Amino acid sequence: MMVVMGATGNVGRELVRLLAEAGEEVVAVARKAPAEPLPRRVRHVQGDLSTPASLAPHLRGAAGVFLLVPGGGEGVDPQALRTHLEAARVPRLVLLSSLAAATRPSAPSHAHLRAIEGVFRDSAVRWTFLRPGGFASNALAWAASVRAERSVAAPFADVALPVVDPADIAAVADRVLREDGHAGKVYALTGPTAISPRQQAAAVAEALGTPLRFVEWSRDEARAMMLRFMPEPVAEGTLDILGTPTEEEQRISPDVARVLGRPASPFSAWVERNVAAFR
Ligand SMILES: NC(=O)c1ccc[n+]([C@@H]2O[C@H](COP(=O)([O-])OP(=O)(O)OC[C@H]3O[C@@H](n4cnc5c(N)ncnc54)[C@H](OP(=O)(O)O)[C@@H]3O)[C@@H](O)[C@H]2O)c1
């Protein structure tokens, strides 16, 4: 049995599907019930990572756990999570972290991810850390304005980054949970090419078969928008990465291809699967 935390999110939803397809029993944890029906062999459990004791009964007997830390890590106590995973003798943990846990060693925005990596690094659980760059699914933030007025607004229009398809992250997590040989490994997960916001908008326009107007926001305009749905340190840290990425953040990692034995999916593949959100 596998336990997937954040089971209704971009990565978790796809991971649950892959594990179920592989014949695993899955406990899918999130605070709210999933909007869509779950595959066979999947049981939804209402649970909150900020009250880890409530998750404890569902960890017993798990062959592996997929863990993420939502938002800026508010209310999540990594040490308590470690205690519960060790008490349940969970043999294998896949932690969804971020490339920025390594590339931004002193940024407050990613302190919670550095902290949880640090807590699990010397634990009895055999861990694997997944460190993705920016998700292709962040483009869903454009869906409403594309639908309503055929326009996209974003800062740093021409700064290209190798955004990763969350389905590739899920595919890597699936392998790591079910295969040997990944314990103690840290995988940097990116897409196959760097692509700027302007090029991403063009890919959405092409999939829709209709032109889109691109508006380049200033950093301040983008910051004001982001503060509506994320804590300030996370917004600032994200803008730093989007505007002035380090060399490491721009680098295309071989890890998706190494683990999956096939190339990472391009942004256009993510758009093709998600074009309905922009119609
Ligand atoms: N987006 C990026 O560009 C990017 C880049 C690098 C790393 N990351 C990391 O990726 C993670 C987000 O992954 P995602 O996009 O797959 O997630 P997501 O789509 O934002 O979904 C979050 C999932 O976690 C659940 N959740 C939220 N708070 C919870 C809580 N307190 N207890 C239990 N479940 C909770 C949500 O369901 P409920 O709301 O129903 O609980 C949902 O299933 C974050 O840790 C982020 O740091 C993101």
> pLDDT tens digit string along 4-35?
999 999 999 999 999 999 999 999 999 999 99
Mutate to test the pocket of ligand 1, among 77, 96, 130 (most ligand atoms within 8 A of CB): 96
If we measure between CA atoms, which residue out of 265, 268, 269, 271 comes closest to residue 192?
Answer: 265
CATH architecture of 2-278: 3-Layer(aba) Sandwich (3.40)
What confidence tens digit (pLDDT) does each residue in 133-181 have?
Answer: 999 999 999 999 999 999 999 999 999 999 999 999 999 999 999 999 9
What confidence tens digit (pLDDT) does each residue in 192-238 have?
Answer: 999 999 999 999 999 999 999 999 999 999 999 999 999 999 999 99
Which residue's entry shows tokens 């380090």? 246
What confidence tens digit (pLDDT) does each residue in 55-65 have?
Answer: 999 999 999 99
For CA atoms 43, 48, 49, 55, the dihedral sign is: negative
* pLDDT score, position 262: 98
Cα(8) to centroid(ligand 1), Å: 8
Question: Residue 116 in 3-state DSSP?
Answer: helix
- Helical (H) or strand (E) element with 58: helix 56-59
Which residue's entry shows tokens 């092409």? 206
Cα(275) to centroid(ligand 1), Å: 22
Mean pLDDT, to the nearest integer, of 87-106? 97
111 and 72 in contact (C-beta within 8 Å)?
no
β-sheet bridge partners, residue 65: 3, 93
142 and 278 in contact (C-beta within 8 Å)?
yes
* pTM value surpassing 0.95: yes
Cα(94) to centroid(ligand 1), Å: 14
Cβ–ligand 1 contact at 162 (below 6 Å): no
Cβ–ligand 1 contact at 34 (below 6 Å): no
Please determine, for residue 71, whether its predicted confidence score (pLDDT) is greater than 90.
Answer: no
Ranges of beta strands (E only) in 92-180 are: 92-96, 126-132, 151-155
The CA-atom distances, in angstroms, between 90 and each of 62, 83, 236 are 6, 11, 35
Minimum CA distance residue for ligand 1 atom 25: 6
β-sheet bridge partners, residue 135: 164
Cβ–ligand 1 contact at 72 (below 6 Å): no
Q: What percent of the chain has pLDDT over 70?
A: 100
DSSP classification of residue 140: G
